[in-house]
Amino acid sequence: MLSIIARSFHPRLRMAAFHTALGQLAIQPIASVDHPHANSPQAWRDALLASSTSPKDFQLIKTLVYKPKTAKSATPVPVVVVARDETETSSSAIGKALNLKELRLGSEDLLTEFFGLDKNSLSPLALTKDNFSRVTTVIDSTISSTVAPLAVHANSSASTIFLSGSDILKYLKSLETDSTKINELDFSNLAAAAPVVPDGQAAKPAAKEKEDARIEGAAQIAIGVKKEVDFASWYTNVLLKADMLDYYSVSGCYILKPWSFSIWEAIQEWFNARIKELGVQNAYFPMFVSQSVLEKEKDHIEGFSPEVAWVTRAGQSDLEEPIAIRPTSETAMYPYYAKWIRSHRDLPLKLNQWNSVVRWEFKNPQPFLRTREFLWQEGHTAHLTKAEADTEVRDILTLYRRVYEELLAVPVIEGIKSEKEKFAGGLYTTTIEGFVPTSGRGIQAGTSHCLGQNFSKPEMFNIFVEDPENDGQKLYVWQNSWGLSTRTIGVMVMVHGDNQGLVLPPRVASIQVVVVPCGITAKTSQEERKRINDACDELAKELSTKAGIRAKADLRAEYTPGWKFNEWEQKGVPLRLEIGPLDLAKQETLTVRRDTGVKKPLPLSTVTTTIPQFLETIQQDMFDRAKKTYDERIVEVTKWEEVVPALDNKCVVAIPWCEREVCEDEIKERSAKGAEQTDERAPSAGAKSLAIPFDQSRWSPIVAGQTKCPNCGQDAKRWTMFGRSY
Amino acid sequence: MLSIIARSFHPRLRMAAFHTALGQLAIQPIASVDHPHANSPQAWRDALLASSTSPKDFQLIKTLVYKPKTAKSATPVPVVVVARDETETSSSAIGKALNLKELRLGSEDLLTEFFGLDKNSLSPLALTKDNFSRVTTVIDSTISSTVAPLAVHANSSASTIFLSGSDILKYLKSLETDSTKINELDFSNLAAAAPVVPDGQAAKPAAKEKEDARIEGAAQIAIGVKKEVDFASWYTNVLLKADMLDYYSVSGCYILKPWSFSIWEAIQEWFNARIKELGVQNAYFPMFVSQSVLEKEKDHIEGFSPEVAWVTRAGQSDLEEPIAIRPTSETAMYPYYAKWIRSHRDLPLKLNQWNSVVRWEFKNPQPFLRTREFLWQEGHTAHLTKAEADTEVRDILTLYRRVYEELLAVPVIEGIKSEKEKFAGGLYTTTIEGFVPTSGRGIQAGTSHCLGQNFSKPEMFNIFVEDPENDGQKLYVWQNSWGLSTRTIGVMVMVHGDNQGLVLPPRVASIQVVVVPCGITAKTSQEERKRINDACDELAKELSTKAGIRAKADLRAEYTPGWKFNEWEQKGVPLRLEIGPLDLAKQETLTVRRDTGVKKPLPLSTVTTTIPQFLETIQQDMFDRAKKTYDERIVEVTKWEEVVPALDNKCVVAIPWCEREVCEDEIKERSAKGAEQTDERAPSAGAKSLAIPFDQSRWSPIVAGQTKCPNCGQDAKRWTMFGRSY
């Protein structure tokens, strides 16, 4: 009966009811926000960050409902767990603590029956006097002491109120009866006590450790959480505090602010100059693709169709046919390649465009790495011979590697993708694979595809010329396509950033050097103050005009030097120069490296030569350090037993692989954690093949018919990198 | 009864029927094409041009149905006119020739009744043995002799077949009975004989004259039609033959090929450098805007909502709310301006983005001038004071003028828009107005808006700071927005192009100088040939490396010099250098200017100084000529009677204007042609206010209370340009 009441209770009435309940308890929400429906924690966080009404710092509260194993005839008593989103809530540990067997996440039916809500709308406020006694309630013991505002859904996934931890506890306590009490659990202890998971996996970082991630007293001036402990929050915080990005009101889309967009401009400028040397010209094709054209290549569209955004209406009129927004432009461009390429003299045709594409992913979005609209360049070329196409594929891949290594100071490895991982509809895909040490995951950093004749063949786009070498017979052109996106920026942030914030490689920093006046106190005379400020200003100007350095003097009177140091550190400016009265007396400036923190005085007289060299040293050091880490984390493995421990140890493995797709599927399955998945962001996914590196020489030679694949025991072909990945 | 048969006849059956009919007559279509539904001649042409199956050159056939004045009781006998699309078909002339009164274009009902088709699907093939004797059929007498394939709808606006003129005639003849024959009419004679239209308007260019527009024997190598006679076809042909653009399968969208995109890149580079000096930074905001945000500013959205494209579906899932593609980004950006601007120290905020926007116009699209997706930059800035905002509005407008005048050699006039023509939701709009002499129309070339506090006020986006000058009271920021689009390129083509094709101003030409080897005949020795080619190659290299000229040697052996001359002339390369054996002997090169055709020899020894100067001279001359024309065509008018004749004379008028909106509406109405509108592209629209020029000094001073508005007789305020426009 009660369940029927719950279901028939209109959301607005329910909302009014709990507002009344909160009111009776004298609980005043810190803020309340309406937003788009959020179907994941990330989407929810995005929606709140996009709202200007949200408090500056907040944490999400998750509400999970578990069903214990119950005799079929008995009424189940669900376990409702209220915890901070980042708290690791192991169901087996909860079961152990409550002496309940086989806790499983409750079905949607169960949620509807007990709360009349779906899982995205659940919150502690879904507990009421009506249902409280029919469930077991568990609350994360750290909540009552959490200072930051806590976000809870107001019985809708599109509505949030912010409460203090003590008010949440107060509300839940108000529901208690003599027979039904809430259970406060210390999840960090539970996690420590949890049984070791199979496969030799190390215990997951516990909530205690997460708690440590928050850096004491650093909320305003540094990143607030430690990179090594709560990487996801650290990443978001770095992007926001470095002023690179803001969240946007359409989920999965982000605003690129000048501080990050200027990096993209630096990449554009460099890459444009290089491809022009290869004879590539820039063009622009429309963002719209008609349905029939989009769906022409079957394998290709299968790869993209679940993510295509469709325009169906213009003004008040429905379009006769829906029109797609390009997820990539192969099928949009190639009908015109067929039209334009009439003779072998029209080859090679090499076009590139800088544009945005849309892939409406339903997975959790992540700024720069997985967004619904993203900026990239896409090159599309057609050639007379396969050899020419092959050469270009590698030329472009090399340019991509150089963008990462020479501009972003991020090491990558060139290789080829497995058949399973190659571009849908293409012949083969080459890739540069990056690595994020903190998460131990590989990341696809850029791809250059040879499409072969798959798109040019007669039943596809029919792009041919008369073969000049072969009596004018029809020759279907060889095609390539290649793309590099703003993902570059995300990888750079993840690899180089630290607990003070962003660390920019000098070559892409829009400000390479900041000059800060120091040693000015209340006692400093007006003249002295001016002398120091002028010296700073002059130094910045000298570096700009004489050495081509992007330098800025920060002469703002309203901020202390310490405040400025922190701001520019958060923003990742590679080098800080300080000038105080003593420096000026010695005609020196104190240099402070962002990447290492090392301080060193330099004579002012030679800055126009020493500083450019210094920046190059920083650039090289950043790359070398990252390269060393990547190299150390590629573990040569020949026995299966060593694969998962290596992955758990935040490494990628290189195995001598048979290159069979069925084996790849097995490896993915075997390397996934057998344990339950309460947290969808847990780093427990199976390993994918990342790349078959072109340079095989770094590993022991594979002996044909002798070296075996560690998974299936069949003959190994080439060393292949496998890893968890983005 | 027959009409019911026609209506119930399924299109596919009809198509089969006429294919049978054509088959019986041994008529074999040249090609047949399925395409998106075409609801205008332009859309139809676009669709055909976008298809790779269409013949290279073709002409459209229009089929018009007129209803003569008939007694109410009598059954009307419609007149079906089959003519080339560009043939001027005056209904009064037809009526006169057939001795019928008051021909009016038939209603949709009439078309359905007689042919079961809408007007966009009509074609000569809609005439069948069933309906032929119930109508009067007229055929343009030039059709039977037209050589190019003629496009006719295959009983659907989404399907076209190409027939020869004689086959169309053959088909119609096959329907004749003893009592019903087709009427062949020579429309050029009819037009000449047509009565003079009112308002002193000159007779419209007749079909005879249009016929003259086609330049004899020039189909392959030049533009094919004369700019002065058939401007619309000329424009399209120039864009296609100069390889600037191609039509695309989504109507109203076009492909910008490298030859035009490089002009946009030149504009981007120049403008980026200048706005950076003004402190503007580039950024990127998402292309999507949520409905609620888009619709926040009411006046603003009213201006755009009929043209907004809506995404309603992703993959197979309907979105919870439709999401708009930005038509412009004010409402998308300003919620974040509100979030980011917290103090007067955050001002000014100056962001710009280079992006594409979508306005799903239903008017006839025109490449570069009116397209559904277009590239532009949009700048959005926020300021503490109105004075600062005002200054920036003009600074940007000046940059826009310089883009046109200094890069594109196109003169424009700076001014302010009338209240009626200003940006929806803004405070005032400044504009640069260009002029297309061939059509005599004004064209809005770029706009810089002051939004005032309309978007920052509390009920809108609530963007405020504490006023540092005024006790920290709330100060709502002053905002500007400004945009310049790829329309720039279209205006440049229209102003400078000639009957040989495109004419590029040197500063934006991606190839400024082409070097062509000449005087090589079959008798020329291998050594001599090599010597000449090498000299050309060397000359191009010398110009590139030593003088920074974008030079290219065209050494293709398979083409004659004449062929190359034509190709580079079509593409508008500013300067051609020829080297033949005699030139080489004299150590000279023959220079040929694209803009004037003037030839002049120059010594090879000094090219690195003479050629750069020469290019600057060409640039300046092109601007000066265009400026002279523009100046001559702005006619100072103080009497109403002179307004329409001046417009008809392809001028814009400057009148001392009262600046009242009601007067503006009247002027538009009074200056529109009263004559019937059979051709929707006729240049008979009313005049709009184009701009109130900042420089009023070019006209006689307005005496307050004495100078009167020539339309309404009220006191004039400022000289204002009125004209027909794009």
Beta-bridge partners for A636: A654
Q: Do A311 and B325 touch (CB under 8 A)?
A: yes
Tens of pLDDT, residue by residue over A262-304, are 999 999 999 999 999 999 999 999 999 999 888 887 777 787 8
Neighbours of B86 (CB within 10 A): 22
- Of A244-248, A251-255, B139-143, the range with the lowest mean pLDDT is B139-143
Does residue B215 carry a pLDDT above 50? no
Return the residue in A33, A246, A287 with the most chain B beta carbons within 10 A, the one to mutate for interface testing: A287
Return the residue in B52, B121, B220, B280 with the most chain A beta carbons within 10 A, the one to mutate for interface testing: B52
Who's near B13: CB < 8 A, 6+ residues apart? none
ipTM score assigned to the predicted complex: 0.77
Q: With pLDDT > 70 as the criterion, what percentage of chain B qualifies?
A: 91
Distance (Å, whole) CA B456 – CA B352: 18
- B294 in A contact zone (CB under 8 Å): no
Compute the average pLDDT of residues A107-136. 85
Compute the average pLDDT of residues A79-85. 90
Determine the distance in angstroms separating the CA of A313 from the nearest CA of chain B, rounded to an integer: 5
List of E strands, A337-477: 349-358, 373-383, 413-416, 428-436, 441-452, 464-466, 474-476
Which residue of chain A comes nearest to B280, CA vs CA? A258
Q: Distances from the Cα of A551 to the Cαs of A223, A433, A583, in angstroms? A: 25, 33, 19
Tens of pLDDT, residue by residue over B468-491, are 888 889 999 999 999 999 999 999
Q: How confident is the model at residue B73 (pLDDT cuts 50, 70, 90)?
A: low
- What integer pLDDT is reported at residue B15 of this predicted model? 62
Among residues 486-545 of chain A, which lie with CB inside 8 Å of chain B?
Answer: none
Does residue A702 carry a pLDDT above 80? yes
Chain A residues in contact with B256 (beta carbon < 8 A): 283-285
- What integer pLDDT is reported at residue A207 of this predicted model? 46
Q: What is the CA radius of gyration of chain B?
A: 29
- Of A591-595, B155-159, B616-620, the range with the lowest mean pLDDT is B155-159
- What integer pLDDT is reported at residue B199 of this predicted model? 39
Determine whether A709 is exposed, middle or buried from the number of CB atoms within 10 Å of its CB (0-12, 13-18, 19+).
buried
Chain B residues in contact with A254 (beta carbon < 8 A): 286
Does residue B391 carry a pLDDT above 70? yes
Q: With pLDDT > 70 as the criterion, what percentage of chain A qualifies?
A: 91
Which residue of chain B comes nearest to A303, CA vs CA? B315
Backbone phi, psi, residue B575, to 5°: -140, 130
Compute the average pLDDT of residues A111-138. 86
Q: Do B558 and A338 touch (CB under 8 A)?
A: no
Q: Do B311 and A288 touch (CB under 8 A)?
A: no
Q: Distances from the Cα of B289 to the Cαs of A78, B285, B382, in angstroms? A: 41, 10, 21
- What integer pLDDT is reported at residue B502 of this predicted model? 98
Q: Do B250 and A290 touch (CB under 8 A)?
A: yes
Backbone phi, psi, residue B184, to 5°: -90, 125
Does residue B425 carry a pLDDT above 70? yes
Tens of pLDDT, residue by residue over A530-571, are 999 999 999 999 999 999 999 999 999 989 999 999 999 999
Backbone phi, psi, residue A170, to 5°: -60, -45
- What integer pLDDT is reported at residue A412 of this predicted model? 98
Q: Do B345 and A558 touch (CB under 8 A)?
A: yes
Cβ-based contacts under 8 A for chains A and B: 152
Helix, strand, coil fractions of chain B, as percent rounded to 5:
35, 25, 40
- Of A710-714, B34-38, B421-425, B528-532, the range with the lowest mean pLDDT is B34-38
Alpha-helical runs (H) found in B315-431: 330-340, 386-402
Return the residue in B248, B261, B334, B341 with the most chain A beta carbons within 10 A, the one to mutate for interface testing: B248
- What integer pLDDT is reported at residue A73 of this predicted model? 67
Q: Do A286 and B250 touch (CB under 8 A)?
A: yes
- What integer pLDDT is reported at residue A16 of this predicted model? 62
Which residue of chain A comes nearest to B240, CA vs CA? A340
Q: State the average pLDDT for chain B.
A: 88
Which long-range contacts (C-beta less than 8 Å, at least 24 apart) are formed by B115-119?
Answer: B115/B6, B115/B65, B116/B6, B116/B7, B116/B8, B116/B9, B116/B14, B117/B155, B118/B157, B119/B65
Highest mean pLDDT among A74-78, A185-189, A533-537: A533-537
Q: How confident is the model at residue A19 (pLDDT cuts 50, 70, 90)?
A: confident
Helix (H) or strand (E) holding A100: none
Who's near B482: CB < 8 A, 6+ residues apart? B378, B379, B393, B396, B397, B400, B446, B447, B448, B449
**pTM to 2 decimal places:** 0.77
Does residue B203 carry a pLDDT above 60? no
Which residue of chain A comes nearest to B158, CA vs CA? A320
Which residue of chain B comes nearest to A284, CA vs CA? B256
Q: State the average pLDDT for chain A.
A: 88
Q: With pLDDT > 90 as the criterion, what percentage of chain B qualifies?
A: 64
Q: How confident is the model at residue A147 (pLDDT cuts 50, 70, 90)?
A: confident
A104-A110-A112-A115 Cα dihedral, nearest 10 degrees: -80
Q: How confident is the model at residue A31 (pLDDT cuts 50, 70, 90)?
A: confident
- What integer pLDDT is reported at residue A148 of this predicted model? 80
- B339 in A contact zone (CB under 8 Å): yes
- Of A139-148, A461-470, B689-698, the range with the lowest mean pLDDT is A139-148
Which residue of chain A comes nearest to B331, CA vs CA? A249
- What integer pLDDT is reported at residue A683 of this predicted model? 54
Does residue B2 carry a pLDDT above 80? no
Which residue of chain B comes nearest to A305, CA vs CA? B315
Q: How confident is the model at residue A13 (pLDDT cuts 50, 70, 90)?
A: low
A348 prior amide bond cis, ω within 30? yes
Which of A254, A287, A360 faces B373 most closely, judged by CB atoms? A287
Among residues 342-381 of chain B, which lie with CB inside 8 Å of chain A?
Answer: 345, 351, 355-356, 358, 360, 372-373, 375
Does residue B29 carry a pLDDT above 90? no
- B53 in A contact zone (CB under 8 Å): no
Tens of pLDDT, residue by residue over A656-677, are 999 999 999 999 999 987 543 3
| Residue entry with tokens 């798109």 | A455
- What integer pLDDT is reported at residue A388 of this predicted model? 98
- What integer pLDDT is reported at residue A397 of this predicted model? 98
Distance (Å, whole) CA B157 – CA B263: 36
Among residues 271-290 of chain B, which lie with CB inside 8 Å of chain A?
Answer: 281-290
Backbone phi, psi, residue B68, to 5°: -80, 165
- What integer pLDDT is reported at residue B4 of this predicted model? 35
Distance (Å, whole) CA B28 – CA B19: 9
Determine the distance in angstroms separating the CA of A672 from the nearest CA of chain B, rounded to an integer: 28
- A10 in B contact zone (CB under 8 Å): no
Tens of pLDDT, residue by residue over A580-591, are 999 999 999 999
Does residue A83 carry a pLDDT above 50? yes
Q: Do A284 and B375 touch (CB under 8 A)?
A: yes
Among residues 547-576 of chain A, which lie with CB inside 8 Å of chain B?
Answer: 558
- What integer pLDDT is reported at residue A485 of this predicted model? 98
Compute the average pLDDT of residues B522-533. 92
Which residue of chain B comes nearest to A262, CA vs CA? B282
Which of B36, B52, B308 faces A338 most closely, judged by CB atoms? B52
Does residue B683 carry a pLDDT above 70? no
Does residue A197 carry a pLDDT above 50? no
Does residue A200 carry a pLDDT above 70? no
| Per-residue burial over A593-607, b = 16 or more CB atoms within 10 Å of its CB, e = otherwise | bbbeeeeeebebeeb
Cβ contact A194:A92 at 8 Å: yes
